[in-house]
Amino acid sequence: MSVTAPKGFIANGVHAGIRRQKLDLAIVRSTVPAVGAGMFTINRVQAAPVKLCKESLTLAEPMAVVANSGNANACTGLRGDIDARAIQAETARLLGLRSEQVLTLSTGVIGQPLPMGRILPALRPCADGLALGADAGRLAAEAIMTTDLRSKQSVAEGPGFTVGGTAKGSGMIHPNMATMLAIVTTDYPLASGAEAFAFLQPAVHESFNAITVDGDCSTNDTIVLLANGASGVERTAETDAAFRECLRSVCADLSRQVVADGEGATVVAEVRVSGAANDDEARAIAQRIATSPLVKTALFGHDANWGRVLSSAGSAPYGGGYAHLDPERVCLKYNGIVVLDKGAPTGVEPDVSGKTLLIELDLDLGDGHFMYLTTDFSYEYVRINADYRS
């Protein structure tokens, strides 16, 4: 189970006809009052549902999420805004909620109007079929997929409470808040949306904000956290700490699943930068390595061409210039094998033939550190995105 694992959450996914055959419309709802928060893309071009979610969160605590795949409702002008509100209002009517208590999410092709003649009628069977249990969570997880090869679900159990989540994402993954779409639910008691955000932000920073597939930041990136307190657990400093770890665990698991399911991905690489001047510079360097097309194509070729890593690290934009790096102090490892020691090559050729790779770069300048997940660039990635609309 995922979003339906915590107490008091029901879900469903149906085929509305946005996509040819696959499930494409989902609802997740708390059956009792909830609080919630969201984080969103920082892309200047933002989809209508992103803008509506932000507005709704300032007006009320959310109790439900409605999401569609196959169409992003982005770059669709005034009509897109009206369509998003219509979906929100109809979902709220069917669930007996106020419109602002429903958050709207969309993902898919940019620049095409939503097929409202299919979506609005499909909302009733989707709402009527809301249910508890693993199958309901699975249907919702499948309904938000686009080019994903598999649904992404995760659950973490705490002392007397549960955190569950689902996400979608495979391409256009270079988030600066979250992945394409993610919904996280919990029956842990939180006091307000502001408190939910305080827990969500650090969990996202080290998970969804630390992954890349292709370096493209989506117009629709959204992660929503709903907390309804249905567990009845008594809050203490210890349970807060446990909830924080469960939330981080679910976000980390979902983000790793997104990278592993990256479009055309054959290799997943973990880039760990340590010894940087500070954490922000470590992040800048890790991100630069993880997004380098030359590094990513070397991953696909299973070629330990570590010079590309060094070249990328030395050109990581930071503070109007580049992050600090002294090439004579750098150490680099591939899967634990030292290939560069204090700026001098060791002459050792590491084995990089597997489906995973650990790249560790120690700058020996300070205590800054950060980890990024990335994938290779394959022929299949090009094929998928060349034919995306067809």
DSSP 8-class letter at 368: E
Taken in order 324, 327, 328, 329, the sign of the CA dihedral is: positive
The catalytic residue among 179, 185, 212, 239 is: 179
The residues near 14 (Cβ < 8 Å, ≥ 6 apart) are 23, 24, 25, 26, 122, 125, 126, 129, 139, 143
In 3D space, the residue among 146, 110, 99 whose CA is nearest the CA of residue 220 turns out to be 110
What are the angstrom distances between the C-alpha of 165 and each of 140, 147, 150, 200?
A: 11, 19, 15, 13
Say if CB 40 and CB 78 are below 8 A apart: no
- 179 is an active site residue: yes
Q: Distance between CA 366 and CA 361 in Å, rounded?
A: 13
- For 23, phi and psi rounded to 5 degrees? -55, 140
Q: If DSSP codes are grouped into helix, strand and coil, which group holds residue 387?
A: coil
Interatomic CA distance for residues 75 and 129, integer angstroms: 32
Q: How is residue 134 written in tokens?
A: 């693993």
CA distance readout (Å), 157 to 30, 84, 167, 252: 18, 34, 18, 15
Nearest 5°: phi and psi at 85?
-65, -35
Query: Measured between alpha carbons, how far is 126 from 94 in angstroms, rounded to an integer?
Result: 10
Q: Would you tell me how many other CB atoms lie within 10 Å of the CB of residue 42?
A: 11
Place of tokens 């391409």: 171
Paired tokens of 318: 């930071």
Q: What is the largest CA-CA distance in the chain?
A: 68
| Amino acid type, 279 | D
* Residue positions annotated with a catalytic role: 179
